[in-house]
């Protein structure tokens, strides 16, 4: 397959316990289309090693190498998952030829296949164009069940990523593309953004958000002291949808925590508020899939951003399967 590479076991190294004390001892590296249906519960990691969308959006490239550094960081972390829960590394979607749409298509097919086999996918990017392929993978899975289930998108991000894709599709356009497709299909566009920065989104973007009825929490308010109000808004949003897809753009975090991104946020949010909101979302029982976007090792400092992403993956996995 042109837009795919098999899992690399070199990413999974760390202390040896021979008792599965560490995640590198727990994970099974299996090519995407060979990942079996698990006997019980399972998490499947899939990389989106593509920064073509960042390049097209005039950003700083390097996110192509994001998935592998998150996996390397996760490998060294302790494993507290029950032995009945499986953990797979299903490799990376790649973009060797700049054909981002083909990479998104391959991602969509991969996500559908994992969901059809009853895995919980965690997709590691890559530019935020990951969201377009990921969303379509979830949609294809749900549509095939013909239950008309709706998807709510919750985006932790400094940016709306609602740029109009008139010139090209890129890392700043995924949610606009989804909104326009939903409009054509006459289905609701359910989109909640947490951490939007006024100094990082222009007037047109706020206008587009208004026209599309987007719910958002500004970064000034996306703080732990407003947790109870934020939880109320999140729960109100979740109530209106059947399934929730969470996408976490690492550039929404303050650059004190996440310097390794294309567009850093000195005044961004903290990991603490994000973790609290993730708990609220997971408690709803509607979370179907998660991704991380914009991990760029080229600008990381001491592997801090990779470690933050890995800690969040660790948190989500252990909260879902205690
Ligand atoms: N995915 C990122 N999108 C942002 C990038 C902002 C920037 O380059 O400064 C956006 O297009 O708004
Ligand atoms: Mn962003
Ligand atoms: Mn984004």
Show me where the domains of the chain are located: 4-320
So what's the pLDDT on residue 1?
81
So what's the pLDDT on residue 261?
98
Q: Give the pLDDT band (50/70/90) at residue 300.
A: very high
Q: Could you say which ligand is closest to the alpha carbon of residue 158?
A: 2
Residue nearest to atom 4 of ligand 1 (CA): 172
Q: Which residues make up the environment of ion ligand 2, defined by Cβ < 5 Å?
A: 157-159, 249, 251
Distance CA 55, CA 321 (A): 37
What percent of the chain is modeled with pLDDT above 90?
98
Q: Read off the pLDDT of residues 187-216 as tens digits, 9 standing for 90 and up.
A: 999 999 999 999 999 999 999 999 999 999
CA of 176 to the centre of ligand 1 (A): 13
CATH architecture of 4-320: 3-Layer(aba) Sandwich (3.40)
**How crowded is residue 116: how many other Cβ atoms within 10 Å of its Cβ?**
14
Return phi, psi of residue 71, to 5°.
-60, -45
Residue nearest to atom 9 of ligand 1 (CA): 263
Q: Is 141 annotated as a binding residue?
A: no
Work out the mean pLDDT of the chain and round it to a whole number.
Answer: 98
Distance CA 218, CA 239 (A): 21
The pTM assigned to this predicted structure is: 0.98
Q: Could you say which ligand is closest to the alpha carbon of residue 163?
A: 1
CA of 70 to the centre of ligand 3 (A): 18
Strand, coil or helix: 246: strand
Q: Read off the pLDDT of residues 88-142 as tens digits, 9 standing for 90 and up.
A: 999 999 999 999 999 999 999 999 999 999 999 999 999 999 999 999 999 999 9
Q: Which of 277, 278, 259, 280 is nearest to 268 (CA)?
A: 259
Residue nearest to atom 6 of ligand 1 (CA): 263
Q: Which atom of ligand 1 is nearest to the CA of 201?
A: 12
Q: Is 128 annotated as a binding residue?
A: yes
**How crowded is residue 238: how many other Cβ atoms within 10 Å of its Cβ?**
22
Q: Give the pLDDT band (50/70/90) at residue 38.
A: very high
7, HSE (Cβ side, Cα atoms, 13 Å): 24
User: Is 167 a residue whose pLDDT tops 90?
Assistant: no
User: Is 183 a residue whose pLDDT tops 90?
Assistant: yes
Residue nearest to atom 7 of ligand 1 (CA): 263
Q: Is there a contact between 86 and 321 (Cβ–Cβ < 8 Å)?
A: no
Helices (H) and strands (E) in the chain, counts: 10, 10
231-250 average pLDDT score: 98
**How crowded is residue 131: how many other Cβ atoms within 10 Å of its Cβ?**
31
Q: Is this complex scored with an ipTM above 0.95? A: yes
So what's the pLDDT on residue 207?
98
102, HSE (Cβ side, Cα atoms, 13 Å): 10
The position carrying tokens 């109009």 is 164
So what's the pLDDT on residue 173?
98
Element (H, E) at 133: helix 130-144
Distance CA 134, CA 119 (A): 14
């Amino acid at each position: 397959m042109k837009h795919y590479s098999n899992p690399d076991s070199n990413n999974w190294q760390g202390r040896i316990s021979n008792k599965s004390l560490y995640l590198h001892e727990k994970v099974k590296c299996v090519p995407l289309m060979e990942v079996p249906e698990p006997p019980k519960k399972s998490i499947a990691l899939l990389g989106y090693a593509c920064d073509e969308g960042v390049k097209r959006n005039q950003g700083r490239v390097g996110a192509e190498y994001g998935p592998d550094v998150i996996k390397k960081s996760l490998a060294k972390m302790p494993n507290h998952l029950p032995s009945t829960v499986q953990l797979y590394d299903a490799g990376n979607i790649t973009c060797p030829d700049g054909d981002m749409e083909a990479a998104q298509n391959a991602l969509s097919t991969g996500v559908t296949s994992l969901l059809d086999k009853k895995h919980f996918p965690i997709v590691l990017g890559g530019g935020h164009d990951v969201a377009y392929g990921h969303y379509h993978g979830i949609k294809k899975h749900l549509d095939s069940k013909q239950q008309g289930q709706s998807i709510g998108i919750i985006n932790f991000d400094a940016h709306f990523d609602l740029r109009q894709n008139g010139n090209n599709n890129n890392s700043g356009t995924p949610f606009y593309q989804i909104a326009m497709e939903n409009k054509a299909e006459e289905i609701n566009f359910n989109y909640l953004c947490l951490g939007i920065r006024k100094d990082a989104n222009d007037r047109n973007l706020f206008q587009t958000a208004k026209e599309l009825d987007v719910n958002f929490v500004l970064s000034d308010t996306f703080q732990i002291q407003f947790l109870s109000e934020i939880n109320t808004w999140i729960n109100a949003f979740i109530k209106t949808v059947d399934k929730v897809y969470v996408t976490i753009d690492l550039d929404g975090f303050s650059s004190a925590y996440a310097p390794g991104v294309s567009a850093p946020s000195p005044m961004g949010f903290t990991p603490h508020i994000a973790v609290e909101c993730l708990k609220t979302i997971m408690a709803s029982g509607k979370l179907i899939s998660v991704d991380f976007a914009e991990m760029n090792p080229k600008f990381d400092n001491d592997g801090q951003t990779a470690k933050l992403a890995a800690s969040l993956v660790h948190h989500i996995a252990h909260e879902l399967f205690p």
